[in-house]
Copies of this chain bind each other. A is one copy, B any other.
Amino acid sequence: MKHGGDLTEAIARHGGAPDDWLDLSTGINPSPWPIPARLPIDVWQRLPSRADEDALMAAARKAYGMPDGADVAAAAGTQMLIQWLPYLAAPGQVAVVGPTYGEHAVAWTKAGREVIAVTDLGEVPESAVHIVVVNPNNPDGRITGRAALMRAAARLKDRGGWLVLDEAFADVDPDISSVAMCTDLPVVILRSFGKFYGLAGLRLGFAIGTPDLIRRIAAALGPWPCSGPALHIGAAALRDQPWADRTRSVLTEEAGKLDKVLVKGGFTIVGGTSLFRLAGHPDALKLHGALARQHIWCRSFDWADGLLRFGLPPGDAGLDRLAAALALGH
């Protein structure tokens, strides 16, 4: 499978209706920020105004702890920013530290760029003008330290290149974020709203960087890149610091429970973040099939036979269902 979160293929192969499935194929928080029962009709009817956008940006600035010298642009999902970066960056090769989220390499390749796959920042060749690092990494949760990232960004500055830092899962631990680097180094930080806030269908993501860099991204996005509901809900959720703090604890607790079920099912926990767990098993692919036949969908990888990725189940019932399915074996 190409992506988590799309049951279309799972249903085509194994039947069932979407509601029958326990979808653990994503890293999306199953307990979303509580959207209001009814949104103001305005957010649907009129074009988003500059005032709406400014309110979202102010909330993002605070939530992400942005320093004064940095700027931010919002888009209809981080993916849209991933699509644009290869068209806006200076010519040259891009090194992608992986294995990681596959769409970075796809987007640069489709835009005609040469992509170099490396497994560590230390392996990046001199010829690379840009580097993509997902931090914490998806699916293994590896965290690249700030000192190494700063060294890499400084080298790229000399080459006219960008360090693209995809912090899609950094909300689970704000200390991971490199947002403080954005004032003087050519770093583009991508922040995803939908994962931590559990509202992936809303489509909202951010690019953070120097004012000059963000101006170029915003010019490419053009006017009204975000929907009215995304601006309204995004601003309110990002302002809700108590919810975010509480959610970080809850996710850690839920990830711990999931680990217990997986270990009991014969898995070894290899890595992850509190929004998804990467687990190893000698019969991983067989188990993936066995779970799918019981309409439980997790993530497999074409580069590793022995690994599966599990998102958090929505509550203890989902956890029990997974435990029961794993007890049956393959």
Contact = CB atoms under 8 A, between A and B. Distances in A.
A105 interface: no
Given A76-B227, A80-B225, A229-B229, A48 B201 contact: yes
A217 B226 CA distance: 19
A214 to B, nearest CB: 15
A201 B47 CA distance: 5
A26 B28 CA distance: 37
A110 interface: yes
A317 interface: no
A48 B57 CA distance: 25
A228 interface: yes
Interface in A224-280: 224-230
A29 B128 CA distance: 50
A224 B8 contact: no
Interface in A210-231: 219-230
Contacts of A219: 110
B80 A42 contact: no
Contacts of A48: 201
Interface stretch (A30-38, A166-174, A183-191): A30-38
Contacts of A203: 76, 224-228
Contacts of A4: 47
Contacts of A18: 42, 49
Interface string A20-64: 000100101010100101100011111111110000000000000
A32 B26 CA distance: 34
Contact of A44 (B87, B202, B225, B228): B202
B46 A5 contact: yes
B79 A198 contact: no
Interface string A61-90: 000000000000000110110110001000
A154 interface: no
Given A87-B87, A222-B103, A227-B230, A200 B79 contact: no
Q: Which of A43, A47, A107 has the most CB of B within 10 A?
A: A47
A9 B51 CA distance: 9
Given A224-B203, A227-B201, A46 B28 contact: yes
A234 to B, nearest CB: 12
A201 B76 CA distance: 12
A87 B50 CA distance: 26
A77 B199 CA distance: 20
A39 to B, nearest CB: 9
| CB-based closest 8 A-B pairs | A201-B228, A5-B47, A76-B76, A83-B222, A8-B50, A203-B227, A47-B200, A8-B51
Given A45-B198, A203-B228, A229-B229, 8 more contacts: A4-B47, A6-B50, A42-B201, A47-B200, A76-B203, A103-B222, A203-B224, A227-B227
